[in-house]
Every structure is written in C-alpha cells, then in structure tokens.
Amino acid sequence: MTSPDDPATGAELHFRALEKLYASAPVNDLFDSKLEITARGKSRLVFKVTPQSFHAAGAAHGTIYFKMLDDAAFYAANTLVTDRFLLTTSFNLHFTKPVREGEVVAEGQWISGKRRVFVAESRLVDAEGDEIGRGTGTFMRSHIPLSGLPGYQFD
C-alpha cells in the first residue's frame, strides 16, 4: 500500500481521502455540497444554497457563510498534514453580499504554517461571479489521527 507520505502518489491519495472524510461527516448530510482538493494548499467547495438556510429576510443565514468558508480554509490547510486532523481555533469572516438561492463556490488557500499552527483563507463566489464573503482561519494540529477516522480512506 502507498503511504500518504510518498511524494509521487501519496499527495493525491491524501487529497482523495480528505474528500471522502468531508463527505462522511454527518453534518454534510444537511447540505448539498462537494469538496474538491485541487492542489497542495488549495481546496474548492461547491455548495447549493436553498431556502432551508434562509434567515427571516429571505437570504442565506451567516452560519452558511461560516460553514462554507471554514470548510474551504480548513481542508486547504489539512492538505499539508497527512497524519493528524486539524481543529479550527479561530475564524474571522467578512460578508460582502447576501446570497439567495443558487450555487456558491468556496475557494480555500493555505497561507502559512507547517508544523503545529496553520493559517488559511477562503472566499465565496456566487453564480454571477461576485465575491460574497471572505474569511481567514487559524487551525491547529489535534491529537486525532486521520487514519483513525472512518471517512479517511485510501481506495
């Protein structure tokens, strides 16, 4: 079996296992979304906003923005860590435009950190191509091995 530390194929295996980990999280049963790890330090999350996520004024509640931004930044950072699950320790967000129904893309990008603490940013783009939100997060290595999580699988 190939190890995720093998530079030739390990990175791709790790990226696909992270995508499976995302899909296996019970919270994601509540959302129409799909994660793609596009490269080391980069992620892309395609998310469909539906009326079930609206606040009283008919647009997506801020919790949806946070989820998309946090997930995209988190997975971009976790591409650099092959042995441990990262934990979000802080996250700042900026809302720039309300979103109603439709597809939103969250793009995550690792910024800094390689050992214990990682910083990544993300942005949300709506179907018209407008940026609707932006966030920056700090993520820390946990004591949870990725290999022990049921969704993190190599096949």
Which amino acid is located at 109 in the chain? Q
The overall average pLDDT reported for the chain is: 93
pLDDT of residue 4: 55
Residues of the chain with pLDDT under 70: 1-8
Q: In this predicted model, what pLDDT tens digit does every residue of 59-79 receive, in sequence order?
A: 999 999 999 999 999 999 999
Domains of the chain (ranges plus CATH)? 10-148 (3.10.129.10)
Residue 64 near residue 30, CB atoms below 8 Å:
no
pLDDT of residue 119: 98
Q: Which two tokens stand for residue 94?
A: 């900026």
Q: How many angstroms separate the CA atoms of 9 and 36, rounded?
A: 17
pLDDT of residue 35: 98
pLDDT of residue 2: 46
pLDDT of residue 7: 53
pLDDT of residue 6: 53
**Backbone torsion region of residue 149, taken as left when φ is above 0, otherwise alpha when ψ lies between -120 and 50, otherwise beta:** beta
pTM: 0.92
Contact partners, residue 1, CB within 8 Å, separation at least 6: 154
pLDDT of residue 22: 98
pLDDT of residue 1: 41
